Structure 1
Amino acid sequence: MTPSAQAAGVAPRESPPATPAAFAMSAGHVSLDGRPVLRGIDLRIHAGEVVAVLGANGSGKSTLIRALLGLTPLSGGTAELHGVAPGRFRDWWRVGYVPQRLSIGGGVPATVREVVASGRIARQRRLRRTSAGDRAAVAHALEAVGLTERAGDPVGWLSGGQQQRVLIARALAGEPDTFVMDEPTAGVDAESQLHLAGTLASLVERGRTVLLVAHELGPMAPLITRSVVLGGGRILHDGAPPADAGCHPHPGHEQARPHVYDVSGGPMSTEAGQ
């Protein structure tokens, strides 16, 4: 405050509160069946970032995501989701979660539209009937992943790649501001990967936060603003995606040069081949 403002009795202007990180973890440890999986993770992901968590199988990628969401308990350290501990977080409409695969139970088979519509539940009050807004959101989500014509089909009739697109549509239908995708391209065809890349591009354009777990990024690589590489439960790299990010830029691409880091679990020099 200036001296003249003080003399005039003007109240000081308070600075606006800082927006909490979309995801935060401090000294995070996770042990499963007595085996350490995450070892002292420090991580902050801010609103609007598009972050890829990379690493070899068993490096702790999916465990990190589940711990950030509160689905796997920490054995040490803390985690926050939009500034709140996951166990106390209530605004789940803000988070669209895409797991690795669609679980199809017994009984009456659900249709594609019914699975996608379940993404609206977090936005609905109890006993409220489906609204025109709900139906529009579901229709838009189906169109975004190219499954409008399959909306009435049982999900069990779809290929693995198409089922993954159903999961993405379910997350889109909830209209969240934060998306978490756990290996969305694992085992899916090139067409589905291209659909996912297009969907991700539209989310980026709208400023959504995206946390993506992947072994290979494929056509999504140009959209990533930051990469976090795990190895042995620790962060090996956190920053701009390296030129050779341990993931091939296109499906079926063979990498001829050494990667910037060894996705099997340790740092690697491209200069000395170490």
Structure 2
Amino acid sequence: MTSSAQATGVSERSTAAAAPVAFAMSGGQVSLDGRRVLRGVDLTITAGEVVAVLGANGSGKSTLIRALLGLIPLSGGTTELYGVPPARFRDWWRVGYVPQRLSAGGGVPATVREVVASGRIARRGRLRRARPEDRAAVARALAAVDLTDRAGDPVGFLSGGQQQRVLIARALAGEPDTFVMDEPTAGVDATSQHQLAATLTGLVEEGRTVLLVTHELGPLAPLITRSIVLRDGVVAHDGRPAEDAACHPRPGHELEQPHAYDVSGGPMNPGTVR
């Protein structure tokens, strides 16, 4: 091996070694309503990866995501975001979360623009007024999901698929390092799925980390660098995308209970999580 090749190899290894860990879980256990949902999960996700969490209904996919974010407590083990336990993590601008469903929360009806703009709060603070760069980020996010013309409409007037696009725009507006998406294509038509894939392609090219739960990869498949398959709360596969991920709905196969996200930007009561 030539000296230049050796130098290149050392450089590549150094870059890989220097990549921060976005999520880490060691011996993760979660029990809900007396049932063990996660049973000793060990997992590390490095910045820049595009990871799909797959598995049958009730396998613990959404529970894993929410435990990684600290939205539900562990009954055993540990988890960290960028090296910090969720309870002490303060750099929430680094993580954009797209839950399964948007909830109006019983308050004053929020417009599409207001919900998307709430994605900037972690960056600017709740008490600071929107800056030109905040408004520009919101405009870009709305355009990315093709909702610019609905920006002034109450989110309650939108279809389920459109509301899902609002949540995606909300995460985009925050310009985070990492995107965590729980069933981002559920209830979204084929055109919107391809639009999401194009948007994520640009983010991946910028080096962003993507962690998503899905039943069907569809147009997102070419982006996935790693798949994690859960079965009965344990990791059955972790590596190259598995061909037999068992992630496609079967007759009578129902989606996991959707998890709501308040229009204020805060997670709702987890309730029953699977």
Is the helix fraction higher in 1 or 2?
2
1:188, distance to aligned residue in structure 2 (A): 2.3
2:138/2:173 contact within 8 Å kept: yes
Residue of structure 2 in register with 1:48 after alignment:
48
Report Cα offsets for 1:107-161 as digits up to 9, x if no partner.
Answer: 4321110100000000113532111000000000001111111111111111111
Q: What secondary structure does 2:181 align onto?
A: strand
C-alpha separation between the residues in 2 aligned to 1:243 and 1:29? Answer: 27
Residue of structure 1 in register with 2:167 after alignment:
167
Report Cα offsets for 1:179-198 as digits up to 9, x if no partner.
Answer: 00001112222222222212
Query: Superposition pairs for residues 200-215 of structure 1, below 5 Å?
Result: 200-215=200-215
- Number of matched residues? 236
Report Cα offsets for 1:211-265 as digits up to 9, x if no partner.
Answer: 00011111111110000000000000000002343346xxx9x9xxxxxxxxxxx
Query: Superposition pairs for residues 242-253 of structure 1, below 5 Å?
Result: 242-247=242-247
2:119/2:170 contact within 8 Å kept: yes
Q: Percent identity?
A: 80
C-alpha separation between the residues in 2 aligned to 1:87 and 1:237? Answer: 29
C-alpha separation between the residues in 2 aligned to 1:128 and 1:62? Answer: 33
Query: Superposition pairs for residues 80-99 of structure 1, below 5 Å?
Result: 80-99=80-99
Q: What secondary structure does 1:27 align onto?
A: strand
Q: What secondary structure does 1:31 align onto?
A: strand
RMSD of aligned Cα (Å)? 1.8
Q: For 1:165, give the aligned amino acid.
A: R
Q: Would the alpha carbon gap of residues 107 and 81 (structure 1) be closer, same or farther in structure 2, given more than 3 Å must change?
A: closer
1:19, distance to aligned residue in structure 2 (A): 4.4
1:164/1:184 contact within 8 Å kept: yes
2:116/2:166 contact within 8 Å kept: yes
Residue of structure 1 in register with 2:101 after alignment:
101
Q: For 1:29, give the aligned amino acid.
A: Q
Q: What secondary structure does 1:28 align onto?
A: strand
C-alpha separation between the residues in 2 aligned to 1:237 and 1:127? Answer: 45
1:81/1:89 contact within 8 Å kept: yes
Q: What secondary structure does 1:102 align onto?
A: strand
C-alpha separation between the residues in 2 aligned to 1:125 and 1:107? Answer: 21
Q: Does 1:116 align with 2:119?
A: no
2:25/2:80 contact within 8 Å kept: yes
Q: What secondary structure does 1:163 align onto?
A: helix
Q: What secondary structure does 1:22 align onto?
A: strand
Q: Would the alpha carbon gap of residues 126 and 97 (structure 1) be closer, same or farther in structure 2, given more than 3 Å must change?
A: closer
Q: Does 1:180 align with 2:180?
A: yes
2:49/2:225 contact within 8 Å kept: yes
Please give the TM-score of this superposition, normalised by the length of structure 1.
0.82
C-alpha separation between the residues in 2 aligned to 1:38 and 1:172? Answer: 29
Residue of structure 2 in register with 1:262 after alignment:
none
Residue of structure 2 in register with 1:271 after alignment:
none
Residue of structure 2 in register with 1:191 after alignment:
191
C-alpha separation between the residues in 2 aligned to 1:126 and 1:192? Answer: 31
